[in-house]
Amino acid sequence: MRALLRALLAVVGVLALIVVGAVVYITTFFDPNDLKPRLVEAVRDQSGLELNLDGPLSWSFYPRLGFSVEQAEAWLPEQSQEDSAFAAFDRAEVSVAFAPLLSGEVAVEGLTLDGMRLNLERDAEGRGNWEVLLDRMQRGGDQAEEALAPASAGPGLDQNPDSLPVALDIASVQVRDSRVHYQDAQRDLDLTLSNLSMEGSNVNPDAAFPLQMAFDLESQAPELASQVKFKSRVRLGLRDGRYELSNVNLETSTQWPALSDQAQGLNLQVGHLLAETQAQHYRLDDAKLDTRFHHPAVKSKPLGLSLGFDGEADLDAQTAQLRDIALSGDDNLDLTGTLSFTELLKAPQYTGQLKLAPLPLRDWLKRFDALPETGDDKALSELAMTSPVHGDLQRINFSNLSLLLDGETLTGELGAGFDGQWLSFDLQGERLDLDAYLAPAEKNGEEVDNGEDESTASVVETLGVSSAYAAAESAGLLPAEWLSNLTLDGKLDVDTVILKGMTLQDVALRVTGDDGRQRLESLSAKLYDGTFDAQGSLDLRQSPLRLAMTQSLSGVQIAPLYKDINDAESPLRGRLNLESDVTSQTNQLESLKRHLNGTASLRIDDGAMLDVNVSRQLCTAAAILDGNQSDREWSDDTPFDTLSASLDITDGVARNDDLEVRIPGIEMTGAGSFNIPTERFDYDLKARFIDTADQNACRVTSRLQQVSLPVRCEGQLGGEPGEWCRFDREAFQDTLGELAKDKAKREAGEKLDEALEDKLDSDTTRKIDETLGEGSAKELGDKLRGLFK
């Protein structure tokens, strides 16, 4: 046994001496720099690259056998060596394990690349400069191994590289301190990857191995800088074209000055990623994207979002699917759905289903400092939706949409362009309370220069004095540029709408727009036993823009309308009929009323002025003039048959000279003006008694029926109605004086007639005619009577 052991030790000693001798011989008598010309020629033949090896080629020895190249640069075939090199590195080293060489195997133990620099460019036609290299290498095929085999590797060494089996299981692959620059003229991109490092261990083409990477990313357009870290287990699949990544973890921290001065954090985790390159099939399982989003609107508090999904793509069929989409985040954000894509590489289109769980919209608007003032503090509290979706890269369409806002539901279709220049909707709902979302009335009232009550202003709008009243209440410039480019097609049908206190039924809205014109095709509704209809247009091709509006009210009950708007009893009742046709040309909402021009006409039937009885006042005055007293009992109101007027509107001032109010036994006419921006009015009215069979009319003499009693009305719509109108006392006194003179003359004339009849008998008449001429007596009598007329 002892002899056998000694023999074995001797054999091992001899073998070790032979191997050491061989290594000493190679490193002593063989210079690897002799391979430079062959390497340059082989690279040129196989890839077309012009290789320049400025640094030395060297061997390394124990504990591993290695080969290294320093200071290498390569240029593309059509590149000048005065240009920046397509690829370069400071040092590259490959090493093989020493022990496996004793058993006739080559085990690559390490591959290191330091200071790599790569310049990639894509031209305006979309072709990359690296494509020439790939095409050339593909044509080269398997000739690379033969070209790289040296003609002589030294005496006594095997010339055939295949005589040693190579176990491609690289213990360590390292890329350090490298840089990649990418320019894309077609997409206007300029990206730089610096401080690039990559590490892999036990790299094997048939088994998964761990890989991690880190680099800094800089972009010129858009301007951003990002730190990127990547970690995964990777299966290369060089033989079957099946690449797999598992346990993927990608982290980025990005500085984006255009968005925020704080870093945007992103983390992507993927359970399994499969890429079958030959079949052009890709699959993504258990993907989750987490981000902390900073934006000036959210101030110091970042927005947390998490997106989970599974995905699959078939590039040959140009299809893809995103399944189990789940977007969650702060403030109870919960959006789920699926999407399917077609024409993926040409003109991508998608279909799917999305569902948004009830979202506290008010909290989200507060987060972005975008919560508007609302009439109801609970408005915008809850938003939810569900709908099939379809679209492309320019648009999204929600078909069969069910949208829930604060407990009210809208259903139908909604579409929008991602560039904000296309909007389409066809929605139906049961109830929509717009007052809950409009600014509180007291806030609006403060914005009006003259301080008028906002509810009164709403009445003016309803009566058609200013069709654009609501828009003019809040100052601000119309988004003319957006509107001029907007293509619009919308329909809205709602059973009940609450607006400025008014209750509108069966509301139907139709709007269209394109080529710089927006049109209100129709707006109709039922309100207070009557109907409302309107049409209009907004022409943004003119500067300033031009607004036109026509509207019609028919049979609308004034009293309940006024009460709902003002939360107070109406000073009028009756049925309102209105026609208006107005225009305004301005780019500012605040000046909309000042530039209002057009016409309007209104009529109120079967009406009454409440809490004031004009008939009692006028009839009492008439009785006094006739020397009588009125003991009649009067109601508190003034009923009238009709009130009518036509208005000519010029630069915000409405004038009319045909105001007419028909009260039983009394007719009132007048003329005056109404200043729409200031809501001040000034009217001169005349009241006249008329002969009528109406039992409610007071009885007056025929002479009073010929007299017009003056009434002066002036004030502001925000004032007290009881102070608006008064009798013109001076004119009234003049009228009374004229009536008294007329009565005195009439009585004197009657007495004169009696005296003349007594004194001017036939004998006296004859004597006067003889003295003064024929007919003189009659002429004298007529002139005397004329003095009292």
Task: Give the separation between CA 362 and CA 16, rounded to whole angstroms.
Answer: 81
- Inter-residue contact 330 to 343 (CB < 8 Å): no
Single-letter amino acid code for the residue at 230: F
Q: What is the dihedral of CA 478, 481, 487, 489, to 10 degrees?
A: 0
Beta bridge partners of 59: 67
Alpha-carbon gap, residue 33 to 395, rounded angstroms: 62
Report pLDDT for 457: 40
> Over 50: is that where the pLDDT of 402 sits?
yes
Residues near 182 by Cβ (< 8 Å), separated by ≥ 6? 120, 121, 122, 189, 190, 191, 192, 193
Each residue's pLDDT tens digit, 159-178? 444 444 445 677 888 999 99
Beta strands in 665-731 (DSSP E): 666-675, 680-689, 708-716, 725-727
Q: Residue 153: count other Cβ atoms within 10 Å of its Cβ.
A: 14
Q: Kindly state the average pLDDT of the residues 591-602.
A: 92
pLDDT reading at 460 higher than 80: no
Residue 148 has pLDDT above 90, yes or no: no
Residue found under tokens 């990547």? 230
pLDDT value at position 639? Answer: 86
Pick the residue with more confidence: 400 or 727? 400
Tell me, what DSSP letter sits at residue 376? Answer: S
Residues contacting 315, CB < 8 A, separation 6+: 280, 281, 282, 344, 345
3-state SS assignment for residue 566: helix
On the CB side of 496, CA atoms within 13 Å amount to: 10
Q: Give the DSSP H/E element, type plus range, for residue 87.
A: strand 87-97
pLDDT at 62: 60
Average pLDDT of the chain, as a whole number: 79
pLDDT bucket at 755, cuts 50 / 70 / 90:
low
Decide if pLDDT at 276 tops 70: yes
* Reported confidence tier of residue 727, pLDDT bands at 50, 70, 90: low
Query: What distance lies between CA 320 and its chain's CA centroid?
Result: 29
| CB distance 303 to 330 below 8 Å | yes
Tell how far CA 191 is from the center of its chain: 31
pLDDT in tens, 466-501: 333 333 334 445 788 888 999 999 999 999 999 988
Residue 128 is given by DSSP the state B
Ranges assigned E (strand) in 148-241:
166-167, 170-184, 189-203, 209-219, 224-235
The CA distances from residue 661 to 266, 639, 657, 730, in Å, are 74, 10, 13, 23
Whether the pLDDT of residue 142 is over 50: the answer is no
Per residue in 520-558, pLDDT tens? Answer: 999 999 999 999 999 999 999 988 899 999 999 999 999
The rounded distance, in Å, linking the Cα atoms of 134 and 77 is 12
Q: How confident is the model at residue 97 (pLDDT cuts 50, 70, 90)?
A: confident
What is the C-alpha to C-alpha distance for residues 455 and 78, in angstroms, rounded to an integer?
A: 79
**How high is the pLDDT of residue 629?**
65
Q: What are the start-end ranges of the E strands in 586-698?
A: 596-609, 638-650, 653-663, 666-675, 680-689
Q: Higher model confidence: residue 257 or residue 734?
A: 257
Q: Which two tokens stand for residue 66?
A: 């290695």
Q: Which two tokens stand for residue 378?
A: 């609970």
> What is d(CA 366, CA 360) in angstroms, rounded to the nearest whole number?
10
87: tokens are 């690829």
The encoded tokens of residue 578 equal: 């209105």
CB neighbour list of residue 769: distance below 8 Å, 6 or more residues apart: 775, 776, 777
Q: β-pairing, 517-527 with 487-499?
A: unpaired
Between β-strands 87-97 and 106-114, what pairing exists: parallel, antiparallel or unpaired? antiparallel
At residue 753, the 3 state secondary structure works out as helix
Tell me the pairing of strands 319-329 and 546-557. Answer: unpaired
Structure tokens given for 100: 């496996």
Q: Is 195 left (phi over 0), alpha (psi -120 to 50) or beta?
A: left
Retrieve residue 52's tokens: 């320049």
Q: Is the pLDDT of residue 150 over 50?
A: no
- Could you give phi then psi for residue 236, rounded to 5 degrees? -75, -40
721/611 Cα distance (integer angstroms):
10
- Partners of 369 in the β-ladder: none
Residue 625's CB is within 10 A of a number of other CB atoms, namely 19
Which DSSP letter does residue 158 get? -
Q: At what angle do helices 729-759 and 776-786 cross, to 10 degrees?
A: 150
Q: Tell the burial category of 561 from Cβ atoms under 10 Å away from its Cβ (0-12, 13-18, 19+).
A: buried
Instruction: Single out the residue of 356, 354, 353, 295 nearest to residue 328, CA to CA.
Output: 356
Q: What is the C-alpha to C-alpha distance for residues 741 and 269, in angstroms, rounded to an integer?
A: 106
Half-sphere exposure of 712 (CA within 13 A, CB side): 9
Mean pLDDT of 219-247: 89
Beta strand 422-433 with 487-499 is parallel
Per-residue CA distances from 401 to 390, 423, 427, 429, 492 (Å)? 12, 15, 9, 12, 13
Is the dihedral angle over the CA atoms 704, 706, 711, 712 positive or is it negative? negative
Cβ within 8 Å of residue 495, ≥6 positions away: 429, 430, 431, 505, 506, 507
Q: Considering only CA atoms, give the Rg of the chain.
A: 49
User: Mind listing the pLDDT tens digit for each residue in 638-676?
Assistant: 788 899 999 999 999 999 999 998 888 788 899 999 998
Bridge partners of 391, per DSSP, are 350, 396
To the nearest whole percent, how much of the chain has pLDDT over 70? 71
pLDDT of amino acid 124: 87
User: Of 601, 696, 733, 597, nearest to 658 (Cα)?
Assistant: 601
User: Under a CB-based contact definition with an 8 Å cutoff, are residues 337 and 325 in contact?
Assistant: yes
> What mean pLDDT do residues 119-141 have?
78
3-state helix, strand, coil in the chain (%, to 5): 25, 50, 30
pLDDT in tens, 434-455: 999 988 765 444 443 443 444 3
Confidence of residue 413 (pLDDT cuts 50, 70, 90): very high
